[in-house]
Amino acid sequence: MKKFHRNVPVFTSTRLFASLFLLTLFLFSLSFILPSSPLSSTTTPPTSLLHLKQNQQLGLKSDASDSKVFPNDKLLGGLLASGFDDRSCLSRYRSVKGLSGNPSPYLISRLRKYEALHKKCGPYTESYNKTVKDLNSGHLSESPDCKYVVWISFSGLGNRILTLASAFLYALLTNRVLLVDPGVDMVDLFCEPIPDVSWFLPPDFPLNSQFLSLNQKSDQCHGKMLKNKSVTNSKVPSSVYLHLAHDYDDEDKLFFCDEEQQFLQKVPWLMMKTDNYFIPSLFLMPSFDQELSNLFPNKDKVFHFIGRYLFHPTNKVWGFVSRYYQAYLANVDERVGIQIRVFDTRPGPFQHVFDQILACTLKENILPDIDKKHDNIGSLKNLKSKAVLMTSLNSGYFEKVRDMYWEYPTVTGEVIGVYQPSHEGYQQTEKQIHNQKAWAEMYLLSLTDVLVTSSWSTFGYVAQGLGGLKPYILYKPENETAPNPPCRRAMSMEPCFHAPPFYDCKAKRGTDTGALVPHVRHCEDMSWGLKVVDNNSASY
């Protein structure tokens, strides 16, 4: 790199330094868009001399497995099981970021016991085959050795990750085996989390063809069975459908009552369709209370530990994550993530959204202000650098922030690099490459040090939970005006349950379920939602 003379203003050197980042971003963005994208190939594309030289100037290694770039306890304090073939899932044992806190010994013990149960009862085992036979006949021959929760692939990717974590915890609490409907792309997105046996539902599972048609009108729907008073302890069906989506009704919501759990515990096969992170309501059920306390002494880390246990990007997705991290995020003093969801069907960018992002990041000292007078002249020695990772369907906000720090130096003298991996324009839930990019970007956001997220965003919830981050949440704008204050710090890293029941099962009447226990509160970004918080941070 060319040396600067001492009398060169710092803003000039800063811009030249930033230009190197931007050139690297441009070259790397091409690899994301063109057919040689790491998201469409598991092999590493040839490294150009220019890219190699830039990496050397940035102090980066070209080997994605370098221990200095990916330092960590590979088993995350015992959270992860050993014994996997490392090459089958490169992301599992090469975590860039460690855990926020330590999982309880009890949680680790229960995970090992669950893995043993899954190995005993997983697809095509003797117990599985026997229980499937009962499923085909419609009645129980005898009390089954294994019981199951079948998670049906439904909704957008952020929702799917959150609901899969919810279904897994429910399976753990009820000693069931979780089997996952692979849908159209789950196999391409997530590695298998259980050693020696698959968690994906086999293609010849008898009820596969019914998944799309299952709804509240289905005869096997738990809510409909309650309406028709067809739930009896004397006649236990071989399967029950649980409709826990946002449009569920009062009878469906009785799933969260202990009385109904006593009945459901007898049913071998539970089919679950949901787009809700329903874990907060599990914390309100007396029958699960002690077990949850043992599993999670720090109650605000439920999704953090479950998510880090379950969700590992496949090699196809990890290729992009690791290369992008090394190129732009690894060799800086601080990483800032900004996730933007815009509640408007019109094409952006919108000035009020940009104003809100700027107001939040400046007010909370997340990003430095700019020096439009170019008064901040100094040395390049010991300059601090920040990488800003922005994710949005629209590229306009990234361009505005990037240009601001490109045109002016910062008042602090910090060097700010601004990056956006992709901009898809609109959500494409059923498009495989779109979901691969989305999963990669959620994971990248989780690797940042400070996170700013939009209200109501499951995309942001996943990132904050995996990263162990309490984000700054941007308030939902009203009347195309930036809110004042623009954002607030979250009280926990836990996601929000957007459509919880407001019902007291014991008293059999409506109640404010956000005021029953100190560790389940209403969400910061959705006043009627529920989230789990740590007891020490319950008041706010």
Q: Is 532 left (phi over 0), alpha (psi -120 to 50) or beta?
A: beta
- Which pLDDT belongs to residue 152? 98
Nearest to 275 by CA among 248, 251, 299, 255: 248
Distance of CA 535 to the CA centre of its chain: 23
Q: In what order do the strands lie in the sheet with 177-180?
A: 177-180, 148-151, 269-273, 239-243
Q: Is 78 left (phi over 0), alpha (psi -120 to 50) or beta?
A: left
Reply yes or no: is the peptide bond before residue 349 cis, omega within 30 of 0: yes
Largest CA distance in the chain: 88
Other C-beta atoms closer than 10 Å to the C-beta of 23 total 13
- Which pLDDT belongs to residue 60? 32
Residue 372 tokens, joined: 């439009």
- Which pLDDT belongs to residue 83? 86
Nearest to 160 by CA among 143, 136, 183: 183
Distance of CA 102 to the CA centre of its chain: 19
3-state DSSP of 54-112: HHHHCCCCCCCCCCCCCCCCCCHHHCCCCCCCHHHCCCCCCCCCCCCCCCCHHHHHHHH
State the DSSP string of 332-382. Answer: SSEEEEEE-----SS----HHHHHHHHHHHHHTTSSPPB-TT------STT
- Could you tell me the domains of the chain? 87-310 (no CATH), 315-532 (3.40.50.11350)
CA-CA-CA-CA torsion sign (533, 455, 246, 436):
negative
Task: Give exposure, 100-129, as e/b (b: 16+ Cβ within 10 Å).
Answer: bebbbeebbebbeebbebbeebbbebebbe
Do 301 and 493 form a contact (C-beta atoms < 8 A)? yes
- Which pLDDT belongs to residue 70? 41
- Which pLDDT belongs to residue 381? 62
> CA 154 to CA 160: how far, in whole Å?
7
Contacts of 35 (CB under 8 A, 6+ apart): none
Q: Which residues of the chain have pLDDT under 50?
A: 1-18, 21-71, 538-540
Alpha helices, H only, 231-285: 258-264, 279-282
Query: What's the predicted TM-score (pTM) here?
Result: 0.87
Do 142 and 158 form a contact (C-beta atoms < 8 A)? no
> CA 245 to CA 215: how far, in whole Å?
10
Do 206 and 235 form a contact (C-beta atoms < 8 A)? no
The vertex-470 CA angle with 465 and 475, nearest 5°, equals 105
- Which pLDDT belongs to residue 22? 47
Nearest to 158 by CA among 323, 337, 307, 298: 307
Provide the residue type at 402 as one letter. Answer: R
> CA 437 to CA 427: how far, in whole Å?
11
State the DSSP string of 484-502. Answer: SS-EEE-S-SPPPBSS---
> CA 390 to CA 243: how far, in whole Å?
35
Residue 57 tokens, joined: 């100037």
Residue 391 tokens, joined: 């994710």
> CA 231 to CA 243: how far, in whole Å?
16
Nearest to 281 by CA among 9, 15, 500: 500
- Which pLDDT belongs to residue 379? 57
Q: Which residue do the tokens 């085909």 mark? A: 136
